Amino acid sequence: MKCYNEELTKITEESKKENITEEDAKKVAIEKLNQIGFNANIIGTNHYKEIDSTKIMYRFDTKDNYEITIDGQTGEFFDIWNNNKNTQDTSKYITEEQAKELANKYYKLFGYKDGEYEITHVHSVNNEGIQTGAGFRMTVIYNKKYGDVYNPYESISIIVESKNMELELFRVENTPFDNNEVTIKEQEAIDIAIKEDQNVKTNKIEKTKAKLMVVKMNADAYDRKNNTKKYYEAMQTTDYPAEERNYYAVENRVRRAWVVVLEYEDNFDDVVKRYTEGAYSYFVDATTGEIIGGHTMDYIYSESVK
């Protein structure tokens, strides 16, 4: 039986026109591997196209069992994975400070300068099941700062393992922040969101809240408004076919926006409906007042517990 996920990620001749060639991507991969002192002998590939765009992610496997990925549209390094087995020792812990020190070593090895990015989060994997403190696998996240605001979409994620005190993953996301000014007031944004929500059949709005945040533009609110039934069916149906979902081309931009959360009257007799339809978050552009995206449920809360 055909796997439709594979079909959706299949590289086509059309998508190739909007990306660099495999050969050029390979050159970038080899240059990066040489820069960081890793074995640059490439022995395999595992390329794919992103489901919701024409972007090709060129993946190359090295002789030392690392996997390096190059973004086909920007021609830039995206990530490198350590695919070697038995790199984990759950009985050996390292502290957050040790993880930061080790991550900073790789941060500099990959060519980044002090102050270019700042550490914003350290996540721990440990036997206690908590995300803070010492652990056997540690994720250190860096972000670029604009004034007093961090852009979550200009980030470096570094995962290190305690067993051999070595790299598990180095990943770079590089979507610059427009750093747009705030001309829309909070109440204006709430009013815009409420007016937009009248286009969707929902329960009565019981509560509203808003927060100024840095968000990436998306088509979620558009899809919810124009394909409401299908939008919720996709979330509420187990194993909903990927080929039945709607995918949209959206500008890859990051903006300052008011995230307006609308909480609806709870008369749901189904826990799945309550979870998916109990609230909706609109992204209201802080400069233009346009709806530039959205998120099912309470985006303010979900981002605060990351």
Q: What is the mean pLDDT of residues 244-252?
A: 86
Calculate the average pLDDT of the chain. 93
Instruction: Please determine whether the domains at 6-82 and 96-174 fall in the same fold group of CATH.
Output: yes
**pLDDT of 2-13, one tens digit each?**
333 566 678 888
Return the pLDDT at 185: 99
Q: Which CATH architecture has domain 6-82?
A: Roll (3.10)
87: nearest Cα among 104, 64, 58: 64
pLDDT band at 87 (very low <50, low <70, confident <90, very high): confident
Return the pLDDT at 88: 85
| CA distance linking residue 108 with residue 306, whole number of Å | 26
The full set of domain ranges for the chain reads 6-82, 96-174, 186-305
Return the pLDDT at 4: 39
Contact 153, 254 (CB under 8 A): yes
Q: What are phi and psi of 20, to 5 degrees?
A: -70, 165
User: Does 224 score more than 80 pLDDT?
Assistant: yes
Q: What are phi and psi of 120, to 5 degrees?
A: -115, -25
Q: For 96-174, CATH number?
A: 3.10.450
pLDDT band at 106 (very low <50, low <70, confident <90, very high): very high
**pLDDT of 126-165, one tens digit each?**
999 998 999 999 999 999 999 999 999 999 999 999 999 9
Strands (E), 126-202: 137-146, 149-161, 166-174
Return the pLDDT at 6: 60
Return the pLDDT at 7: 64
pLDDT band at 40 (very low <50, low <70, confident <90, very high): very high
Q: What is the mean pLDDT of residues 236-253?
A: 87
Six-digit token string for 138: 């540690």
DSSP state of 125: E
103 burial type by CB count under 10 A (0-12 exposed, 13-18 middle, 19+ buried): buried
Six-digit token string for 90: 């759950």
Residues 6+ positions from 288 with CB-CB distance below 8 Å: 184
pTM of the model: 0.88
